[in-house]
Structure 1
């Protein structure tokens, strides 16, 4: 059996203002931005973190976002993290709290309207049937 060694290298995003969007995400993740020309690289903030790369927009933003980030926080800390992200400039979009027994999340948008979720998973003994 073949074992695959694949990992996420970086999330690449086009931005109207790559430097400002990188600063927002640096505040979210705790990483230090590394600008280079018109683009900005944001390395992983630590083990298990993820890198991001911001570059200038090459065309109009699509009306429908085809994917988004799901960020996970420890059980019981979602609301505090959402409050912190709102204070950094994120915009609240909606909550999904009672639909699924194994997860609760809040959907937010970053400074340029890119959606992302902050999710928490209850311990197995607290998940409903």
Structure 2
């Protein structure tokens, strides 16, 4: 494929502080950091997708709809799930109600109000690492998954009326879960993709995305940035980065 998913980017009120929180929450490590971003990356040899924390956004109003992109964390047993939830609550997470009802997973939110889930044990997530899935809400999960498959460099591996899953050779799933709520404001979490060395470069990636339903997006990035901001067919912003994947 011509590109693949390389980052999940988080708009944060305090990028450094939130990055340190997620570093501890995932038991990962800090990567690249400057005044514009702080990266959190998996330990050497562990699968995962980098989290990039950047300045942006405002405090989330009470009662605002859930983020359209969130993380699902893996657990290998009921006891590990309980221990993970207690660890995260002690770290500063809070329980969250997004209308989930009586479900086997636990919904929490980080110190800036971003929802995430601690999953019940599921064999299909074995080998994903600490993050089982990057989850995107979608009005049409199958259609959005088919749009994202070549961009993320992941084939479609499962599809139902409520959910569609992409998965590469390792690391987390990229999942699209049915939601009736449309995209209305800039996402606080978004995905970055980058052209692969085997592909024909960023221009080809952008051209294919535009042909299949993406559009150019202005999120205040200004002139002279090295990435291109697009929105997928449901309006979710994403960036095509310069340079090929290493």
TM > 0.5 fold call = yes
* Aligned mate of 2:202, from 42, 56, 78: 78
* Structure 1 residue 121, shift from structure 2 partner: 3.6
Change (3 A) 1:55 1:20: same
Pairing 1:7–2:48 present: yes
> 1:18 and 1:90 mapped to 2: Cα distance?
16
> 2:48 and 2:186 mapped to 1: Cα distance?
27
Within a 5 Å distance, the mapping from 1:55-70 to structure 2 comes to 55-57=177-179, 59=181, 61=183, 63-70=185-192
Pairing 1:25–2:25 present: no
* Structure 1 residue 6, shift from structure 2 partner: 6.3
Change (3 A) 1:6 1:64: same
The secondary structure found in structure 2 opposite 1:68 is: strand
Asked if structure 2 preserves the Cα contact closer than 8 Å seen for 1:26 and 1:33, the reply is: no
Unaligned runs of 5+ in 2: 1-26, 29-42, 50-131
Which TM-score applies when normalising by structure 2?
0.40
Pairing 1:105–2:227 present: yes
Alignment partner, residue 52 of structure 1: 174
Alignment partner, residue 125 of structure 1: none
Change (3 A) 1:50 1:96: farther
> 2:181 and 2:189 mapped to 1: Cα distance?
18
> 1:81 and 1:60 mapped to 2: Cα distance?
25
Alignment partner, residue 120 of structure 2: none
Alignment partner, residue 124 of structure 2: none
* Structure 1 residue 112, shift from structure 2 partner: 0.3
> 2:156 and 2:47 mapped to 1: Cα distance?
25
**CA RMSD of superposed structures (Å):** 3.1
Asked if structure 2 preserves the Cα contact closer than 8 Å seen for 1:78 and 1:105, the reply is: no
Give the total of aligned pairs. 115
Which TM-score applies when normalising by structure 1?
0.70
Change (3 A) 1:65 1:118: same
Asked if structure 2 preserves the Cα contact closer than 8 Å seen for 1:22 and 1:33, the reply is: no
* Structure 1 residue 96, shift from structure 2 partner: 6.4
* Aligned mate of 2:217, from 59, 82, 93: 93
* Aligned mate of 1:115, from 237, 242, 246: 237
Asked if structure 1 preserves the Cα contact closer than 8 Å seen for 2:154 and 2:167, the reply is: no
